Amino acid sequence: MKRKTMNDKNKIFLKQLLNREIPDQNGRFGKFGGQYAPETLMPALKKLDESIRQYLNDESFQKELVEELHQWAGRPTGLTSAKTISKLWGAQVYLKREDLTHTGAHKINNALGQALLAKKIGAKRVVAETGAGQHGVASAAACARIGIPCTVYMGAVDIARQAPNVDRMKQLGAEVVSVTAGDQTLRAAIDEAFRDWVSNPDDTYYIIGSVVGPHPYPFLVRELQSIIGKEAREQLLSQHGALPNAVFACVGGGSNAIGIFHAFLGDEEVELIGVEAGGKSQNLGDNAATLASGKPGILHGSYSMLLHDNDGLIQETHSVSAGLDYPGVGPEHAFLQSIGRVSYISAQDSEALKQVKECCSSEGILPALESAHAFVGAKKWAQNNPGKTLLIGLSGRGDKDMPTLSKVMHDE
């Protein structure tokens, strides 16, 4: 794959993003983003927007957040030189280790930040949604730490297939509500969490799990996750003495990818590549490669790229990794793709499974199946660009995937 260059108009868009003129007051990243929410939710979104302006960069809020990230969540996370993989691939490969955070994935950066914000605003309870359970567990843990009751909405289908995470959330004191409406998975769980928030806008705070949803969520979650790239950039400069040639991250809703990419957006020479779930095949319904093969549309309050058919019906998606199994994607990714700053490719289930194995046996690290997609993209890139330096966002640990991995092992 040849790298595309940005034209002058797109360079201006990128500058506006870096200068924080994008997203604009309406939450637009170019034509993407916005607030497609019911009338009844608008006051709550407005209040959230004001609270973010008031608190997010406030000194005492930042002090508490940094302290909690450090003492409780395990930041900063390490940057590991992947020595064996580097030899195998003919590249210098570094891993940003979000798998080492408390609860095992980058999700805690966002859940903790928003739980602290909920407390600042004076919310009496928190609601969250979860698909595979990772964001639910992170939210339950953060709310327990901060001292706010937490209700997690989860599709009935997901509850049945993710029993250990359901019990983890309950153990951490959260109430788990089974969603039997719609597709009974993540999409329906998000709808239900919004519904709860609409009926209790004054005392409830909704912690969304990725850079999706109506404005200001994509902005808020990006701000909370961008610590990943800030740390990685500094660590690379001090451990390696130079910036990477390319950065790779998996993309579900897109929060870990935005988190690691942001610090490098202004470094024009650094190539940024998001890797989506290619699932079983390129046929609609067999994957979750929203940016690679979707079309623009509206889902969960935001205009972004989507997987829907010609009648506008949202499609069921498939991925071996539950965390990437979502038919939408954050609007900032759609924007970054449209201006040519980030490119998006996909990795298939079988390729991701192979990379889990390689990372385990070469580096002694069990990566999440989601993260393994980033490795697939990075390995292909390294084969076409020998001798370069690569940074991979290792978004989480793979312990949660052992049932899937065991099944594959036994079937082989």
Ligand X SMILES: *Cc1c(COP(=O)(O)O)cnc(C)c1O
- Indicate the residue among 255 and 317 with the shorter CB distance to ligand X: 255
**Count of Cβ atoms closer than 10 Å to residue 352 Cβ:** 28
Rounded to a whole number of angstroms, the minimum distance from the CB of residue 254 to ligand X is: 5
Q: Is 230 a catalytic residue?
A: no
Q: Which is nearer to ligand X, 33 or 254 (by Cβ)?
A: 254
Q: Which of 51, 68, 86, 129 is catalytic?
A: 129
Integer Cα distance of 340 and 345 in angstroms: 13
Tell me how far apart the alpha carbons of residues 394 and 100 are, in angstroms, rounded to a whole number.
9
Q: Decide whether 80 or 371 has the Cβ nearer to ligand X.
A: 371
Tally of residues, the chain? 412
Shortest Cβ distance from residue 31 to ligand X (Å)? 22
Cα 82 to Cα 379: distance, rounded to the nearest angstrom = 12
- Look up 107 and say whether it is catalytic: yes
d(CA 408, CA 57): 46
Set 226, 321, 346, 395: catalytic member? 395
155, β-bridge pairs: 179
- DSSP at 274: E
Long-range contacts of 190-196 (CB under 8 A, 24+ apart): 190/129, 190/153, 190/300, 191/300, 192/129, 192/153, 193/127, 193/128, 193/129, 193/153, 194/37, 194/41, 194/300, 194/301, 196/127, 196/151, 196/153
Marked catalytic residue, from 96, 107, 379, 380: 107
Q: Identify the three-state secondary structure at position 269.
A: coil
129 part of the active site: yes
| DSSP per-residue string spanning 168-231 | HHHHTT-EEEEE-STTSSHHHHHHHHHHHHHHSTTTEEEE-SSS-SSTTHHHHHHHHHTHHHHH
Report the residue number, 201 or 259, with the smaller CB distance to ligand X. Answer: 259
Which residues sit at the interface with ligand X, rule CB under 6 A? 105, 107, 134, 210, 250-257, 323-324, 368, 370-371, 395-396
- Does residue 405 sit in helix, strand or coil? helix
Question: Nearer to ligand X by C-beta: 48 or 374?
Answer: 374
Shortest approach of ligand X to residue 371 CB, angstroms? 6
Using CB positions, name the residue nearest to ligand X: 396
| Shortest Å, Cβ 323 to ligand X | 3
Determine how β-strand 271-279 pairs with β-strand 342-348: parallel
Q: Give me the least distance between CB of 257 and ligand X, in Å please.
A: 6
How many helices (H) and strands (E) the chain has is answered by 17, 14
Nearer to ligand X, 91 or 228 (CB): 228
Quickly count: other Cβ atoms within 10 Å of residue 80's Cβ.
19
Least separation, in Å, of the C-beta of 221 and ligand X? 8
Active-site residues: which are they? Answer: 107, 129, 395
